[in-house]
């Protein structure tokens, strides 16, 4: 096991620093690449190659997005595989109404929310047990990194409802615009702003109550 | 405490070595496998099968009425024989159960069961 460091490989294969948003030029290149991937995927002779390019480009971001939601590696691994299996089966019918990137995030987000709902249904007492389980997994894994304030922040995030946590992650960690998050979640920009604002307030309250 | 007070860092999770090198192969293996059907899909199949069987059952009952009639007549005859009930006794029971209120409705053949041959001769002369 090794700590995951360079999660943000975007577009041209360059490694970004943590939390920095890709520059517009990189975005443009990424869009051209996506178009090429889509065209090549439609041809039988280059289908596998195109899919390999797509996975190489997005697998780390999708995995990390899922991992932040489900915490456990095995669950994140299973869901990431499921996301890309779905992508394989539906990519040909993908229309350019949204970017490939938001489409992938949309599938991944739905997988996460469905997984957490299924998990919740398995427990008779909702919310608390799942939250406890995720917190315990988080604590077990955090011993390697030793960054206590980051652990506290993650614990605070686990007190949020799933969808609010999803919005927080997309805004705070991925630094996506509200329009992009709206395309991913299907929620209006106004509702997203309110949701993020409330999430930040709740997180700050938790951090104040549980100050080190 | 404010969120800005915390340095923004991506959460550091432990990931197995070479995980991302192997992930595309795992995904491709899963793609080549036949797709798993969900539980809800199986339940839908089971419900369809149950409806089909019910339909067959109802259809069989509906189209087998003639056999049922024959079966019921045969059963009545068997019951009568077993209990030594004559047809006359059965008719009497039938009249008593107020099916036939008007005695004029009783036809001659039916009366024969009740009247002896001597009585008929007496009535004739």
The pLDDT score that the predictor gives to residue B58 is 76
> pLDDT tens across A56-92, in order?
999 999 999 999 999 999 999 999 999 999 999 999 8
Domain end (from A95, A122, A149): A122
Of residues A32 and B1, the one with the higher pLDDT is: B1
Question: How much of chain B, in percent, has pLDDT values that exceed 90?
Answer: 12
Task: Please indicate, yes or no, if residue A199 is contained in any of the structural domains.
Answer: yes
Residue A126 distance to chain B (closest CA, Å): 22
Q: Which residues contact A115 (CB under 8 A, 6 or more apart)?
A: A70, A75, A79
The C-alpha angle with vertex B40 and arms to B35 and B46, in degrees rounded to 5, equals 100
Asked if A9 and A151 count as a contact pair (C-beta separation under 8 A), the reply is no
- Average pLDDT score over chain A: 82
- Is residue B63 scored above 70 in pLDDT? no
Whether A114 and A137 share a structural domain: no
Residue A3: is its pLDDT beyond 80? no
Which residues of chain A have a CB within 8 Å of the CB of B28? 48
Q: Where are the domains of chain B?
A: 38-84, 86-125
* A7 lies in some domain: no
| End-to-end Cα spacing for chain A | 29
Listed in sequence order, the residues at least 6 apart from B13 whose beta carbon sits closer than 8 Å to its beta carbon are A3, A4, A64, A67, A71, A73, A141
Question: Is A98:A183 a contact under the CB 8 Å cutoff?
Answer: yes
Clarify whether residues A170 and A116 are in a common domain: no
Cβ <8 Å between B16 and A81: no
Mean pLDDT to the nearest integer, A187-193 = 96
Could you tell me the two tokens for B46?
Answer: 């089971």
Residue A180: pLDDT band with limits 50, 70, 90: very high
Same domain, yes or no: A144 and A187: yes
Domain membership flag for residue A30? yes
Q: What is the pLDDT of residues A8-30, one digit of tens each?
A: 333 333 333 333 344 444 444 45
pLDDT exceeds 60 at position A125: no
Return the CATH number at A37: 1.10.1740.10
Q: Are residues A31 and A116 in the same domain?
A: yes
Longest C-alpha distance within chain B, in Å? 131
Say yes or no for a CB contact (<8 Å) between B3 and A63: no
User: Which positions in chain A touch B14 (Cβ < 8 Å)?
Assistant: 1-4, 73, 141, 144
Highest mean pLDDT among A75-79, B33-37, B66-70: A75-79
Are the C-beta atoms of residues A35 and A28 closer than 8 Å to each other?
no
Same domain, A148 and A105: no
- Split at pLDDT 50, 70, 90, the class of A111 is very high
Helix (H) or strand (E) holding B49, with range, is helix B39-63
Residue A49 counted as domain residue: yes
Please state the φ and ψ torsions of residue A5, each to the nearest 5 degrees: -110, -55
Q: Which of A97, A122, A147 is the last residue of a domain?
A: A122
Cβ neighbours of residue A120 under 8 Å, at least 6 residues apart?
A: A126, A127, A130
| A71 part of a folded domain | yes
Number of domains in chain A: 2
Which of A105, A122, A139 lies at the terminal end of a domain, its last residue? A122
Domain span at residue A60?
24-122
Is there a contact between A85 and B30 if contact means CB atoms under 8 Å apart? yes
| Domain assignment present for A9 | no
Q: Is A77 on the interface with B (CB under 8 A)?
A: yes
> Of residues B90 and A41, which shows the higher confidence score?
A41
Going from the C-alpha of A9 to that of each of A5, A46, A49, B84, the distances in angstroms are 11, 23, 19, 98
């Amino acid at each position: 096991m090794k700590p995951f460091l360079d999660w943000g490989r975007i577009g041209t294969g360059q490694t970004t620093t943590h939390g920095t948003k890709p520059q517009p030029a990189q975005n443009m290149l990424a869009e051209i690449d996506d178009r090429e991937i889509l065209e090549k995927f439609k041809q039988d002779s280059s289908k596998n190659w195109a899919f390999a390019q797509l996975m190489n480009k997005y697998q780390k971001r999708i995995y990390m997005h899922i991992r932040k939601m489900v915490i456990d590696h095995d669950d994140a691994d299973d869901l990431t595989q499921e996301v890309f299996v779905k992508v394989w089966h539906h990519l040909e019918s993908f229309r350019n109404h949204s970017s490939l990137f938001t489409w992938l995030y949309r599938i991944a987000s739905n997988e996460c929310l469905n997984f957490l709902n299924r998990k919740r249904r398995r427990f008779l007492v909702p919310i608390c047990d799942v939250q406890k389980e995720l917190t315990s997994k988080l604590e077990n894994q955090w011993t390697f990194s030793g960054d206590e304030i980051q652990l506290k922040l993650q614990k605070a995030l686990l007190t949020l409802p799933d969808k609010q946590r999803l919005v927080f992650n997309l805004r705070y960690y991925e630094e996506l615009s509200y329009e992009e998050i709206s395309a991913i979640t299907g929620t209006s920009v106004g509702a997203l702003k309110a949701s993020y604002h409330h999430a930040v307030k709740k997180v700050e309250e938790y951090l104040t109550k549980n100050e080190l | 405490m404010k969120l800005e007070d915390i340095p923004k860092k991506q959460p550091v999770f432990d990931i197995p070595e070479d995980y991302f090198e192997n992930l595309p192969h795992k995904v491709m293996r899963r793609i080549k496998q036949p797709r798993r059907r969900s539980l809800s899909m199986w339940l839908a199949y089971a419900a369809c099968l149950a409806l089909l069987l019910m339909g067959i059952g109802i259809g069989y009952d509906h189209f087998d009425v003639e056999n049922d009639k024959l079966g019921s007549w045969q059963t009545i005859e068997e019951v009568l024989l077993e209990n030594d009930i004559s047809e006359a006794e059965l008719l009497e029971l039938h009249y008593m159960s107020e099916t036939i209120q008007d005695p004029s409705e009783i036809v001659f053949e039916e009366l024969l069961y009740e009247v002896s041959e001597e009585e008929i001769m007496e009535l004739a002369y």
